Amino acid sequence: MADDALARLEQTTSVGPIAHLPLWEAYTPDQVEVGAARLIEEVDAAFATLEGEVSPTWAGTMEPLEHLEHRLGHVVGVVSHLVSVKYTDELKTAFDAIRPDYVALANRMSQSRPIYDAMLQIRAADGFADESPARRRVVEESIRAMERSGVHLEGGAKARYREIQQRLAELSNDFSSNLVKQEQSARIDVDDPDRVAGVPEPILALAATRAVSDGVENATAADGPWHFAVNGPNYVAVIQHGKDQGLREEFYRAYRSRGTAPQLDNRPLLQEILELRQEMAQLVGFANYAEFSVAAKMASDVAAVWTLFEELESAARPAAEREYAQLVDFMRAQGAPEAEDPQPWDVGFWSERLRESLYDYDGERLRSYFQMPKVFDGLFSLVAKLYDVQIREVEPGSVPVWDESVRFFEVVDDSEVVAGFYVDPYARPGEKRGGAWMNTVVQRSRLLAGPGQSSSLPVALFVMNGRPPGEGAVGLMSLDEVRTLFHEFGHAMQHMFTQIEESGASGLNLVEWDAVELASQFNEFWMDHKPFLRGLTAHAETGEQLDLETIDRIVASRNFMVGNGTLRQLQFGKTDMTLHEQYGFGEGPDPFEIESGIVAQTVVTPSLADESMLPAFTHLFSGGYAAGYYSYKWAEVLAADAFAAFREVGLDNDAGVREVAQRFNDTVLGLGGSLPALEVYRLFRGRDAEPAALLEDQGLR
């Protein structure tokens, strides 16, 4: 039975030359628990054999290690993805059953002295300097990763390191799952039509549908009752458009208290996570987890991160104070009683009204112009123009997917398929965690090459949480959702366009975490090019493009409240860095006191004394951003500086843009982690990135 289950999990399919695609439907809870357990047993035995027979050569160490890591990572990666997008208690239980053994095996592999010693011999060999840059970097970074994983530790210290890693994996998974579970049951129920005034009709339709699924008969979008799931799309819609201050407050408090429900409380989890991270960092010779994290990033040290914070904050604070004063003046001019004591749930609503007043467009109505298929076509046309590739959708049903709304696309270069990607566009409350992200499905790898191929073809997936369309309707997108699409596709391009065939350095592998957001944030800048932005639009009923005047106002509004937006991101980054520098060493303020102090020092808009983002901050506690949230601002500097290269040749100069794009493709997108990010960026730009382009672009200098 276990062998059969494993065979099902490892079975893959192909579409043309794209291979190694998972059979998602095979990953049922019973198959996962039994089959993955057998996989771990087999990989563990194979790794033990490798340790006993390891040869200090690329073929004798790195290649067999890659085979084992691929086999293990393929199955566990699929399970992890499905827990995020098709959550069930049964699947989570199955994952929980195998995860401890998986983490234990991963820790053992990362702490293997025979493998580490073999890598040291590979690096010391006379011919190492003649290896490709990708191979040299894979070896160098593998050695460093093993040292950071405690390979040199002995006895109790090594055992404790493994215990910490095991526990951190459990806590991280529980942190994320608690949020999904809370969303399954959390509701804001409304039966008074006056209370939902201003809330967009599609959101009301979803809330009425939710009421029906909760057992209410005859609920309608027009008359209610409405059961709102407490999730991102609903929160943004109510906070920005709901006229009833009481409903806004109720939604604000509910959304800000995610991760604190009884039996699903993330607060003790995150405190334990922070404490264990500090202990782990100290075991391998770092003063704190912040130093441990930054040592593997593009930033030279923790001090360089704080220098960036200070430079950006000094530029943003005067603008933020002016913006908030303007907002309060506007509220008074509109006769808003709350202007005398603005509350957090008032800021989003009145900011949206101020933006409408200044730039004369309704963000909710703009959705009618941004039809998802049209936006995708525009994105794909841009990619074709810049990088001379075409993107085409594969016939639905011809490739296995995890949900009927998921689509699969091929990337074609000169009639040859070179990559593929999945898109999961819509929110599924209680089943799919919030936010947007990109992940890898198949690496570009020489060892996974099929017949006639030099390497396997890379496959990505990216996930969004857009507003689901009504029955028979086309999906409509907000401007923010369009930006999110461009952002995630930037990540996918770096994975798919890689020229590196050693999987350890292909795509995003070995790209320093604070440089990972470069390609994604760079992609967003095209949204501010007026001819391109207009080309994305077509009214859902008339097909007409958005008028030029509105396009001008949209682009003019791109820096609306940018000072406050910058301070908000700096609040996140400073909280993250301070927690990982200071918390977890015994006596001292708790994480929430640290957070509230930074909020008070950093932002100028109101907040509640007892609110905390930490219990729902998946980036820090179940993602990869621990002591690394600053990466968004660090990479934003890189992205603005990179896009400035395109502006310098003129965005309407097709030949010049293509030339710069080719250089961007050959370096930032193509080289992956085969060289340090600093060197890759210098190859593209001819110099280091400078903050000036970002500050000037945002009107902060």
Per residue in 265-308, pLDDT (tens digit) is: 999 999 999 999 999 999 999 999 999 999 999 999 999 999 99
Q: Answer yes or no: do 388 and 527 share one domain.
A: yes
Neighbours of 333 (CB within 10 A): 11
513 and 418 assigned to the same domain: yes
Tell me the per-residue pLDDT of 63-97, one tens digit each, with 9 for 90 and over: 999 999 999 999 999 999 999 999 999 999 999 99
The span from the CA of 29 to the CA of 25, in Å, is 11
Residue tagged active-site, from 33, 364, 488, 524: 488
Which pLDDT score is estimated for 98? Answer: 94
Position 597 scores a pLDDT of 96
Give the ranges where 214-301 is alpha helix by DSSP (H): 232-241, 245-256, 267-283, 289-294
Residue 355 has pLDDT above 90, yes or no: yes
The answer to whether position 352 is within a domain reads no
Q: What is the DSSP string of 363-400?
A: HHHHGGG-BHHHHHHHHHHHHHHHHS-EEEEPPTTSS-
Is residue 86 packed enough to be buried (19+ CB in 10 Å), middle (13-18) or exposed (0-12)?
middle
Q: What is the largest CA-CA distance in the chain?
A: 79
For residue 71, the one-letter residue type is: R
The 10s digit of each residue's pLDDT in 29-59 is: 999 999 999 999 999 999 999 999 999 999 9
pLDDT at 634: 94
Examine the domain organization and report whether 144 and 214 are in the same domain. Answer: no
Is the residue at 568 inside a domain?
A: no
| Inter-axis angle of helices 113-124 and 29-53, nearest 10 | 50
CATH number at residue 59: 1.20.1050.40
Q: What is the pLDDT of residue 410?
A: 98
Domain end point (choices 525, 559, 593) = 559
User: What is the C-alpha to C-alpha distance for residues 156 and 127, in angstroms, rounded to an integer?
Assistant: 37
pLDDT of the residue at 529: 94
Indicate if 455 and 534 belong to the same structural domain: yes
Between CA 663 and CA 290, with CA 639 as vertex, the angle to 5 degrees is 120
Shared domain check, 121 and 54: yes
Pick the last residue of a domain from 515, 530, 559: 559
Q: 651 is written with which tokens? A: 């965005």
> Of the ranges 184-188, 566-570, 600-604, 664-668, which one carries the lowest mean pLDDT score?
184-188
pLDDT at 580: 98
Determine contact, residues 116/153, Cβ cutoff 8 Å. Answer: no
Q: How many CB atoms lie within 10 A of CB 330?
A: 17
- For the segment 160-193, what is each residue's pLDDT rounded down to a tens digit? 999 999 999 999 999 999 998 898 889 999 999 9
Note down the domain range covering 467: 367-559
Pick 347 or 183 by higher pLDDT: 347
Q: Which residue has the tokens 């691929």?
A: 70
- Whether the bond into 458 is cis, omega within 30 of 0: no
Domain identity same for 144 and 200: no
Q: 293 to each of 153, 244, 675, how far by Cα in Å?
A: 19, 44, 19
Output the CA torsion sign for 41, 43, 49, 52.
negative
Number of domains into which the chain is organized: 3
- This prediction has a pTM of 0.88
- Same domain flag for 136 and 230: no
- Average pLDDT, stretch 547-553? 94
Specify if 422 maps to a domain.
yes
Which amino acid makes up residue 599?
A: V
Please say which residue of 241, 256, 271 terminates a domain.
Answer: 256
**Do 124 and 227 share a structural domain?**
no
pLDDT for position 470? 82
Containing 697, the helix (H) or strand (E) segment is helix 692-697
Report which of 556, 546, 470 is spatially closest to residue 204, judged by C-alpha positions. 470
Residue 262, judged by CB atoms within 10 A of its CB (0-12, 13-18, 19+), counts as: exposed
Q: What is the DSSP letter of 453?
A: -
| Helical packing angle, 631-649 and 677-685, nearest 10° | 20
Judge whether 412 lies within some domain.
yes
CA-nearest of 492, 495, 509 to 624 is 509
Same domain for 428 and 371, yes or no, is: yes
Is 696 part of a structural domain of the chain? Answer: no
Neighbours of 303 (CB within 10 A): 10
Domain assignment present for residue 328? The answer is: no
Decide: helix, strand or coil at residue 689. Answer: coil
Average pLDDT over residues 465-483: 91
CATH number reported for the structural domain that contains residue 423 in this entry: 1.10.1370.40
Cα–Cα distance measured from residue 673 to residue 676, given in angstroms and rounded to the nearest whole number: 6
Helices (H), 149-231: 155-185, 201-213
Same domain, 20 and 131: yes
Compute and round to an integer the Cα radius of gyration of the chain: 25
Judge if 386 and 486 occupy the same domain: yes
Assigned domain for 690 exists: no
Residue 698 lies in a domain: no
Active site residue 488: yes
Tokens of 269: 């989890």
One domain for residues 461 and 533: yes
User: What's the mean pLDDT in 479-490?
Assistant: 95
Q: What are phi and psi of 677, to 5 degrees?
A: -60, -35
